[in-house]
Structure formats: structure tokens, C-alpha cells
Amino acid sequence: MKLRSLIILLFLILAAGTAACIMIIGGYRHEIADPLKYNDIQMTVRENIDHLNTLDDAYPDSPVIVFDANGFLAYPENSPVKDISSAIREGYVLLPVSDGNRFLATAAIPDPDSTSYDNAEKRLMAAVVIMVILFGITSVIFILYTHKNVIKPFGKMQDFAGRIAMGDLDTPLSMDKGNLFGVFTESFDIMREELKSARERENALKLKEKELVAQLSHDLKTPIAGINTICDVLSVKVTDDYTLGKVHDIQKKTAQMDMLVTDLFTTALDDLGEMTVNCTDESSHILGDIVQANDPRSLTTSESIPECLINIDKIRMSQIVGNIIGNSYKYADTSIDVTYTLSGDYLKMAITDHGAGVPEDELTLITNKFYRGKSVRSSDKGGSGLGLYIASELMAKMNGELICSCSDKGFTVTLMILLS
């Protein structure tokens, strides 16, 4: 309603100013010369040529200027018009005064039509100035009102939309009293609440999904352990070479399943924020035991380990090394070199196989979750793409780093292990 009132007020001011201008222009009337008055002035000047000061009493409302026979000012002395030429420029009416054949003087009076025109022009200018001032004041009020009630609320909605796009669904959109966008603003805030509810439902479903994956992964480890136990028993009791070979094949597949389930379970715990590490100070020689425990095929060759204390979680470090050596078994199937070097605050443990390695453009991708290289996807070798991802995440949680690289010697995974 306020905006409508301001617009109506602007229109009324414009209309009133226009009407006033029309009335002033229409009120102007052309003044017709009065011959009788002109004759009376000529006669009065002729009769009082030696006493011109009597003109003030005779024509108090119409000043009369008198010039002598030579055209110079004779009366009054303080007149701004000093000669006939100036009087002509100022638009005065000139009346010659003579006594028979003798020219006495020239009387000059303001042109009544010019005076009327000047007065009308002054009134018109005054009306225009007043109209412009009123229009300017109303325009300023209109601009301030528009900024407060239109531009500013619209800016708030723009900021609100930006926060929504950035994922901030908790901050409500404030609604000012008298806001022109009131209903629109309320709809925006309702949209925010609906989006927030949808996001909460989505997060709840994702959480249940992750919990289900973690539960299933945990439950699968029991039957896998049972299969492995049965295979151990059969390996002792079976004497037939063919059957014994099949039992060993089952054990290999069971070991692969166990690794996949372990990786899946660990990833589910990471998604739930429950993949924790408990670091303790350990002797660096424990790394040799970890490598040996995760190398059932005895393919690794290790250098001597520098004597130092490292800050690790033994169980998680065994999981990391097991994933790396398991990948080398699966994809390279070559001997594996393990070297150790002290580097600042870290012990560098480099695990290198002598396989084909990984293309340069994939090195930065192989630690991503579920990523499997192009050559791996085209082969018949299984895998979930979780091994190096889990190893990298666990190293980060132990304040270390996992770095992948390739050289002529093969594929290398370097573990940066924090010193105590």
C-alpha cells in the first residue's frame, strides 16, 4: 500500500505542477497601449519641464524617466537607465515631448505588455522550481523506500539462495514487517525447511546403508573362517593329490574373500567415522615381523631396518602392509623388495615389485575409493579397488603418508612412518 501511495503522490505532484503552469501561461494577457495615458504623460512632462520631481506624485505606480533633448538622462538621477539607447534595449516605450515646433525632451515608461510578460515568467519559474523541489523530495523518499522494501529484501533472498546452494540449510530467511516479498519470502523459507528435512532423511538412509554393509561384512567373516577351518582339516586328512589340490584352491579363494570382506568392513567403518587407530611407540624392527607375517609365499626381500622408535598402530600397519603385498601377489606376481631409509621425522618404508606397474596418468587415482586401473578392469583378476584407499586412509590417521610411484624397476608404494 505504501508503494502505491508514493506512486499516487508523485502523479499528483506532476499533475498539480502541470496544471499550475497551464494556469500561469493561460493567465497571461497581452497589455494594449493606452493613448490617453501616453498623452497625459507627455502633457505633464511639457508643463513641468523645469520641475520634473512632480512626476513622482503624479505617477506613483508608473515610474517615468525623462531624457533631455540630447538623449541624456534628466530625471531621475538615480535611474539605472542612463540614455535613450539603454531604454530601447530595456524595452521602454519612448514618448517625445515638444512645445510647438521645439523638441523639449523624451519621456520613457516601462512597456506594460513586457512587464506583464516578465511577471508571468517569474510566476512560472517559481511554480516550476516548487514542483521540481517537491518532485525531488518525493523521488528521494521513493528511492529510499524502494531500497529498504524492495532492493534490500531481494538482496537477502539472493544471499539466502547462495547459502542454500552452498548447503547451509540451518539459517532461516528473516522476514521484515511490510516486506513486499512477504509471501515469496515465506515460500523460500518453507523450501529451505523441506530441503533440510529431505537432507536429514537422505543422511539417515545413508547411515543405515553403511551400518548394514558393516554388519553384513562382519557377519560374513564367520562363515569364511568356518570354510578356512574345514579346509585346514581336509588338508591334514585327505591324501588324494587331486582332492588336496582342490582344497588348496578353496583356501586361496577363501583368503581372497576374507581380504575383500575385511576391506569392505574397514571402508564401512571409515564411512561411519569409526575406523580408528591407536598409535603406540614401537621398535622399528617390528616392521620386519609385519612383512613376514603378510608374506606367506616368501616373495619379499628386506634390507636391514634402521634402529629407531616409530609411532604406529600395529594392527593397522599389518593391514596396510598386507594390502600392499596382496596387490603385488595379484597383479605383479614377482619378487618384492622392501627397503628402509630415515628421512627427517619419518622412516621411509618402500615396497617395490617388478611388474608392469601403473600408467603415469593413473598414479594419482589408484588411492581413490573403488578405483581400479584400466589394465586391471580388462583382466580377469578380481578386486574391489579398496586396498590402497584403505592403506592411504590408515597412514593419514597415523600422521604418515602413502606415496605411489613407478620406475624402470617396477611399482613402488612408499610408507612415510612417523618417528616417535
Cell numbers that stand for 94 in this block: 519612448
Q: How far is it, in rounded angstroms, from Cα 241 to Cα 244?
A: 5
- CA angle 240–242–244, rounded 5-degree value: 65
Domains and CATH numbers, the chain: 280-418 (3.30.565.10)
CB atoms within 10 A of CB 136: 10
- Tens of pLDDT, residues 336-368: 999 999 989 999 999 999 888 888 888 888 887
Find the mean pLDDT for residues 244-270.
71
Residues 386 and 264 sit within 8 Å (Cβ to Cβ):
yes
Kindly tell me the number of DSSP H helices and DSSP E strands found in the chain: 12, 11
Counting residues of the chain whose pLDDT is more than 90, the rounded percentage is: 12
Report in angstroms the alpha-carbon separations of 66 from 80, 99, 394. 12, 15, 115
Q: How far is it, in rounded angstroms, from Cα 147 to Cα 43?
A: 71
Least confident interval from 167-181, 183-197, 224-238, 276-290: 167-181
Roughly what angle, to the nearest 10 degrees, separates helices 2-27 and 112-146? 170
pLDDT at 77 over 90: no
Our measurement of the distance from residue 307's CA atom to the centroid of its chain's CA atoms, rounded to an integer in Å, reads 54
Q: Which of 15, 20, 62 is nearest to 37 (CA)?
A: 62
pLDDT at 74 over 90: no
In terms of DSSP bridges, do strands 300-302 and 280-283 run parallel, antiparallel, or are they unpaired? Answer: unpaired
Exposure string over 27-57, b if 16+ CB within 10 A, otherwise e: eeeeeeeeeeeeeebbebbeeebeebeebee
The DSSP 8-state label assigned to residue 392 in this structure reads H
Find the mean pLDDT for residues 122-143.
76
CB atoms within 10 A of CB 201: 10
Q: How far is it, in rounded angstroms, from Cα 15 to Cα 29?
A: 24
Our measurement of the distance from residue 57's CA atom to the centroid of its chain's CA atoms, rounded to an integer in Å, reads 82
Locus of grid cell 587331486: 242
Q: What is the pLDDT of residue 373?
A: 61
pLDDT band at 119 (very low <50, low <70, confident <90, very high): low
pLDDT band at 384 (very low <50, low <70, confident <90, very high): low
CB atoms within 10 A of CB 158: 10
The DSSP 8-state label assigned to residue 54 in this structure reads G
- Tens of pLDDT, residues 369-379: 767 665 554 44
Locus of grid cell 536429514: 200
Find the mean pLDDT for residues 274-302.
87
Q: Which of 367, 338, 334 is nearest to 350 (CA)?
A: 338
pLDDT at 238 over 80: no
Locus of grid cell 593419514: 396
Bond preceding residue 80 cis, omega within 30 of 0: no
Least confident interval from 180-184, 230-234, 298-302: 180-184
pLDDT at 292 over 60: yes
pTM of this prediction? 0.45
Residues 81 and 65 sit within 8 Å (Cβ to Cβ):
yes
Residue 140, H or E segment: helix 112-146
223 or 261, which is more confident? 223
